[in-house]
Amino acid sequence: ASADRFENGEEVQYFSETKERWIDAVVEGHHAKDGAIVAYDLNCKKGVPAERLRHSGVQYKVGELVEYWSASGHRWMPAKVERLNLEARACDLDVKPGAPLNRVRKVSGASEASASLQKASAAHVPNVTALQVDVPPPPLACGFKAGDQVQYFSETKQRWVETLVLRMFELEGNICYDLDCKKGVSADKVRSSPRASQERYEVGEQVEYWSVSAGRWLPAKVQVVRLDLGRCDLDI
């Protein structure tokens, strides 16, 4: 929940997931649970979760770590303000030049620490060798962050190659990645690495599995880990 408290009649902004931008609104009421405010009633929408509200007239400064809403990735991306253009109500981010301010938000606490770690890790990534394993790609909405071990499909080698993510950014509405072996790779040529998965999961561990047919994550339990295939047997 948001650490800020908003009073009735206060002018605020709330993030609309349908319009994918911040919208001006006025607080008309709130909903509390266990002594904490969890949602607000606004003049344009009722029951808005507290974490989707912010004070009106938020200001940013060059060098500040923020988050940018990617319409194509449908997720918040860590970013850094490089230049402000207040007349155009936009800013240049390291992941998106000319980003509208109504699709940018501040980060704090754990989110800011995570963003800093992702950007710092890009400068310290080792080389990895190629490995050809046929596994299905994850949904685009999962995304990858700096330092993640992934596989990239090389058109010249005509196979999947092990590599590491240096950064993720948006280009002309599409998610792209800079990898340690190639820059500006489109998201449809990047997938999770079975090598990383082998190191992460153990028999009996509770996990989630992306079901293409259901279009959502399903709870599951690891029954067998097949290191030679880069796969595992689940109980579903």
pLDDT-derived band at 81, boundaries 50, 70, 90? very high
Higher-confidence residue of 40 and 144: namely 40
pLDDT tens digits, 21-54 = 888 888 999 998 888 888 999 988 899 988 888 8
How close are the terminal C-alpha atoms of the chain, in Å? 33
Mean pLDDT value of segment 95-103? 87
In a 3-state reduction of DSSP, which class is residue 229?
Answer: coil
Return the pLDDT at 117.
45
Residues 90 and 101: beta-carbon distance below 8 Å = yes
Higher-confidence residue of 184 and 4: namely 184
Residue of 159, 176, 156 lying closest to 167 (CA atoms): 176
pLDDT-derived band at 147, boundaries 50, 70, 90? confident
Cα angle: 16, vertex 47, 12; to 5 degrees: 55
Return the pLDDT at 208.
77
Q: How far is CA 97 from CA 66, 85, 92, 170, in A?
A: 14, 11, 4, 9
Residues 91 and 103: beta-carbon distance below 8 Å = no
Mean pLDDT value of segment 78-98? 87
Q: How does DSSP assign 3-15, residue by residue?
A: S----TT-EEEEE
Return the pLDDT at 122.
42
Domain definitions of the chain by residue range: 11-55, 65-121, 140-196, 201-234
Residues 6+ away with beta carbon under 8 Å from 163 = 128, 149, 150, 151, 152, 179, 180, 181, 182
pLDDT tens digits, 181-218 = 999 888 878 887 766 655 567 788 888 777 766 666 78
May I ask the CATH architecture of the domain 140-196? Roll (2.30)
Name the average pLDDT for the chain: 76
Paired residues of 13 in beta bridges: 24, 54
